[in-house]
Amino acid sequence: AQKITQTQPGMFVQEKEAVTLDCTYDTSDPSYGLFWYKQPSSGEMIFLIYQGSYDQQNATEGRYSLNFQKARKSANLVISASQLGDSAMYFCAMREGRGSSGSARQLTFGSGTQLTVLP
Amino acid sequence: NAGVTQTPKFRVLKTGQSMTLLCAQDMNHEYMYWYRQDPGMGLRLIHYSVGEGTTAKGEVPDGYNVSRLKKQNFLLGLESAAPSQTSVYFCASADRLYEQYFGPGTRLTVT
């Protein structure tokens, strides 16, 4: 089974509007972390936001927020007030385990969502 | 701080040739990783290291070898390149917190 599923290959949003990018995950580990990365056309991977499985509140970073619904195993990224510079590929990723000694802390990535912001 | 750097940025190989990709980080991170990204896909883990002198296989290790002789460097080797190894390769490092820091990527084409 896929550990990270992103069901939207492509999304369009009008400039200044909000957009939600979907991510569902599958794990039996009670301790995990969820990440969102942005990959613009230049190719680099840019860290956006992190949510730990034990975090009580949804993570927020500026215009980015993570809608974490643990029972539904979803971790959707919400971008408010979209800008033209937000056009990029967005990846959801998961790290399983608490990261104690010996844990590799590697990430498993989804297939990504290509977001296009329209002027 | 340069962060995570990768050498080279681009490379074209012929089938059967060998090469080594270098990843260097100046953040004193324990953990380092090599991923590959194929068109339209997310990153897949090739090999990783949890400290100097250690390496382990990831999801897609076949055809690759790695070494971590120094804490700051993580080398990825292709002994006999194949067209299926045409991809963009990303190196990343992480500390004991949660974020992975990625290098700029190496675009490899095998003809």
Distance CA B84, CA A96 (A): 29
Residue B85 has phi, psi (to 5 degrees) of -95, 5
Chain A contact present for B90, CB below 8 A: yes
Residue B97 has pLDDT above 50, yes or no: yes
User: pLDDT at residue A6 above 50?
Assistant: yes
Sequence-ordered list of residues with C-beta below 8 angstroms from that of B32, at least 6 positions apart, any chain: B23, B25, B48, B49, B68, B74, B91, B92, B93, B94
- State whether B42 and A43 contact (CB < 8 Å): no
Q: Tell me how close the Cα of A104 comes to any Cα of chain B, in angstroms.
A: 6
Chain B residues whose CB is inside 8 A of the A91 CB are 42-43
- Residues A16-58 have pLDDT tens digits of 999 999 999 999 989 899 999 999 999 999 999 999 999 989 9
Contacts with B35 from chain A: Cβ below 8 Å: 109
What confidence score (pLDDT) does residue A1 get? Answer: 62
Give mean pLDDT, residues B61-89: 96
- Determine whether the interchain pair B43/A45 forms a contact, defined as Cβ–Cβ distance below 8 Å: yes
pLDDT digits (tens, 9 = 90+) for B36-51: 999 878 899 999 998 9
- pLDDT tens digits for range A78-100: 999 999 999 999 999 998 876 55
Position A117 scores a pLDDT of 97
**Residue A110 CB neighbour total at 10 angstroms:** 25
User: What does the alpha-carbon distance between residue A57 and residue A41 come to, in Å, rounded to a whole number?
Assistant: 32
* B50 CB within 8 Å of a chain A CB: yes
Task: State whether residue B41 sits within 8 Å of chain A by CB.
Answer: yes
Q: Do A93 and B50 touch (CB under 8 A)?
A: no
Token representation of residue B45: 């883990």
pLDDT bucket at B95, cuts 50 / 70 / 90? confident
